[in-house]
Structure 1
Amino acid sequence: MTQILNAKPVVQAMKENLRQEVAALQAEGKAPTLGIIRVGSRPDDVYYENNIIKNCETIGIATKTYPLDLNISMEEFTAVMTQVNDDPSVHGIMLFRPLPPQLDEEVIKHLISADKDIDCMSPLNLEKVFEGDMSGLLPCTPAAVMAILRHYEIELKGANAVVMGRSLVVGKPLSMMLLQDNATVTICHSRTRNLPEVAKNADIVIAAMGRARMIDDNYVAENSIVIDVGINDAGDGKICGDVDYDAVVDKVKAITPVPGGVGSVTTTILLNNLVRACKSQ
């Protein structure tokens, strides 16, 4: 019978640990605080911001919000970012993206303080991951995948893992994390030859291609452990992953659902990064 790798127990365990860490920091006189910078008022950004604030409240983390006008200039934005970087009461920064065209995201990646960069935008934080140093602030989605694998005690040492997707946000840093845990990693993408066959021969299949229900039963085997990173519009008002869940669920060893899988853990990783950042400041 297929094991469903639900996020709920992973999140519950992480949040309980974070509550204890936050309480310990507060006892030392530190109040872990998240600064949220949002440009404009896109409904999904506002919804996610409110969700993050609620999650912070459940574990004792304070928040400061910085809602900015959609037409803010690069000079004005830089002044706000510098202010938040220099504010000792703010320990982590969450910046909503994508940004409007007048704001240069490449410049901003270097502008954000690496010590407060809990979403791992800064090249300095990504560089540490690629050097094999996992002690700092980690990219949230790859770290969420690793948290699920560890919670369910999925052996990585010597396992063949196929990562489908080569983005700098998920695929590449996740591959480095898997390598650090002694998995044998193959990175695939849209131009990989014989992609279904490559995936089918893996112990762990991680789908991060950004294509709705692309991965069907041709990509998996009965011993496959499938981790679905995708969050796509299913076209009926619902979301779906990169994996065709209904076609695959009864034919694999284990699988993460969408929703209720990797995405649900990602916000908790963000807060874990905040607590890490607070401890180091």
Structure 2
Amino acid sequence: MRRGCRRSARHVRIHERGVSRISIAERFPRPSVMGIVNVTPDSFSDGGVNFRADDASASARRMVEEGAAIVDIGGESTRPGAAGVRLDEELRRVVPVLEALAAKLPVSIDTAKAEVARRALELGAEMVNDVTALRGDPELAGVVADSDAYLCLMHMQGEPRTMQASPSYDDVVAEVTAFLEERLRSAVDAGVDEERICLDPGIGFGKTVENNFELVARLDEIAALGRPVVVGFSRKSSLGKILGDPDAKTGSLSASIAAAVAAYERGATVLRVHDVREHVEALATARAVAG
């Protein structure tokens, strides 16, 4: 048995049917949808909706039925201004949901903590989605490297508590791309298989409204790194602000769908969303129109 995480029954079944041996690009053909399930009281859009394990489990099942390729379970809010959550509290939030789901549904764990990732992988999660891109916990890279997990590395300027105070870039796309390339190399050097890594430019994480839209407009530059790109523009406040509400806390469904389609057309592989069915339908239509 390799160090890091025990092989759950789900991992054995996945390995036997070949999923654990396929690249992330094969696992998530363009366009794929990742459903968001925040097991938190304070996430920017759906905080509290899925705070009970039963509610979170029901939401995840519905998302898979509606076409999500994977469901991202998170127990720590990363909204602007959010404070960190202790390890024991994060585990208390996500473990019951993972116990109910991970052996039955395709699940990702949204965490920057090695112990949370380890427990999630033991329970059958197949991806670790780290908003710190392996900078938050020095042990996380080893946990992923010693497993069959996929890994998502995200760009964030600063930390959730302060990231939106005064974002500043000379060239946001060039700087985000350089950061992701460096974190990709760091992950590979730590033993993570490059073919199992995807990249996320971090829409809304230490970015101005203009930064967010420029990242989508020039997404092909990030995709040129050769790894699948994940984009999460769903319900972000930038979508409300461009429609005339300077105090918007979230964006509308129609704006979220438009942003997701634009990101797909510019090279995104996975769209991380709250409203799965509507995004699946819109993306399928966009793909059909594009031929």
**Pair in the same fold by TM > 0.5:** no
* Larger radius of gyration between Structure 1 and Structure 2: 1
